């Protein structure tokens, strides 16, 4: 899939539209999801043009992949959800209902999340 530079997360990365940011470092920014599915619902997105997990893990330099996932862990710590637990979700493609074509990891937490799928 060709990267769409006008997707909503690309615009957030460029600062063209606002977000409720919780973390930023050299690898990523993290911000609250606009339609939270749990009491804690934060999106972590890499600073780079990657369409999904599948693309990111194939195309990004090893240091970027390592740094990004370390940042996801740091965001979970910052949110204070590591003790009670959290779920990571990353949708790739149509069958997963990916709606924004910029790689992102959902951090979901704040209550018992139950079964993996409804
Ligand atoms: P996906 O369905 O691609 O895995 O997840 C995309 C997520 O982005 C959805 O949970 C949706 O609520 C969130 N989202 C879509 N547009 C915006 C936006 O403009 N700002 C924020 N903060 N989240 C958004």
Give pLDDT, residue 1: 79
Considering the domain boundaries, does residue 57 fall inside one?
yes
Spatial distance between the Cα atoms of 1 and 15, rounded to a whole number of angstroms: 24
Compute the distance from residue 100 Cα to the ligand 1 centre, in Å. 7
Considering the domain boundaries, does residue 102 fall inside one?
no
- Annotated active-site positions, please? 104
Considering the domain boundaries, does residue 72 fall inside one?
yes
> 49-61: per-residue pLDDT in tens?
999 999 999 999 9
Considering the domain boundaries, does residue 116 fall inside one?
no
Contacts 24+ apart (CB under 8 A), 4-12: 4/101, 5/49, 7/100, 7/101, 7/102, 8/100, 8/102, 9/43, 9/45, 9/100, 9/102, 9/104, 10/49, 10/102, 12/45
In the chain, how many domains are there? 1
Q: Ligand 1 pocket: which residues have CB below 6 Å?
A: 8, 19, 31-35, 43, 91, 97-100
Q: Are strands 105-109 and 86-89 parallel, antiparallel or unpaired?
A: antiparallel
pTM of the model: 0.98
**Residue 74 tokens, joined:** 């740091």
Give pLDDT, residue 80: 98
Considering the domain boundaries, does residue 46 fall inside one?
yes
Give pLDDT, residue 74: 98
Domain assignment of residue 66, given as a range: 8-84
Nearest CA to ligand 1 atom 17: 34
Query: pLDDT-derived band of residue 99, with 50, 70 and 90 as boundaries?
Result: very high
Domain CATH for 70: 3.30.428.10
């Amino acid at each position: 899939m060709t990267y769409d530079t006008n997707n909503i997360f690309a615009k957030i990365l460029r600062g063209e539209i606002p977000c409720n940011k919780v973390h930023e470092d050299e690898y990523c920014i993290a911000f609250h999801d606009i339609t939270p599915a749990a009491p804690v619902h934060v999106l972590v997105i890499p600073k780079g043009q990657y369409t999904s997990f599948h693309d990111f893990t194939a195309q990004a330099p090893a240091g970027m992949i390592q740094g990004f996932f370390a940042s996801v862990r740091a965001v979970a710590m910052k949110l204070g959800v590591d003790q009670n637990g959290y779920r990571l979700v990353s949708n790739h493609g149509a069958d997963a209902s990916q709606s924004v074509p910029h790689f992102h990891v959902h951090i979901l937490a704040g209550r018992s999340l139950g079964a993996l799928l409804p």
